Structure 1
């Protein structure tokens, strides 16, 4: 099952490459707090090689590119999503030029045409892309929508993906993202 997850994540990143504190702020009248999990139990992931860190709930686990994926990335996964192949949160370092990646992210990869918007992410100007995928929940809401961030910091291009942007804790994780070098 773990190999299938890695394969799915790899295909998602490859598809996106072929065809990112975040100004991910709650709406002005919306307050997001770490109520679903005890803030004291949140962990901090630090990537010293690429100079970033973020906080995440203790009930999530990390998968790294060294586990068999042929590109370097950081994947934060939810145990409840492990079987349905939904990407909880992934961070990848891009090697193609920023504008090339931006143009590729504007293309649909199985869902609707992505909606692009300029954002500030961890103090840097970048772009966010929202793409909704087919399928609905019982209440009629879209079952999966991806939120992708493309941002450049000190010459490094970061691509960040989540298919769980509807969760408040994802917005908290993204807002905790910091560049460390």
Structure 2
């Protein structure tokens, strides 16, 4: 499974906060994937022609959101490093668990590749025909996404525990911001 800008942001968010916040964020991504799987399984062939005109604007919207998040994260990391404030990792939570869930849900819903991926699965003859098969498809998509996103969150939590010093946080925040920008730009390149 490739790690795109949403996955990279999830790892960075978890590293800066806690596994609990990261797990909620991961489940936000999985909820979006499950929702799109349900729409694709239920009405993929009807919706596919309607998606064509909005793919470009969706692409640009996701790039703007991702670059904005990267810039804000980098600016916060630099400001924190310059202030030299040392705060325990558990005390520094950039967002709450529910805010992380809904933030990642929205970010994933904006990702045009998620929409295209699930529509292509149904349209490409994935064999999702009957109601039972469609339900299994949606549940399997959610479980697969949740397991992958929770693994990424776990990696972010481990990374956060290993790099808790001010310089380590600055370097990882700037590196993750740079990776997010590069991956976001590749969406429209």
Bin the TM-score by the shorter chain.
under 0.3
Highest relative contact order (Cα 8 Å, sep 6+), 1 or 2? Answer: 2
Q: Which has the higher strand share?
A: 1
**TM-score of the superposed pair, with normalisation by structure 2:** 0.22
**TM-score of the superposed pair, with normalisation by structure 1:** 0.23
Structure index of larger Rg: 2
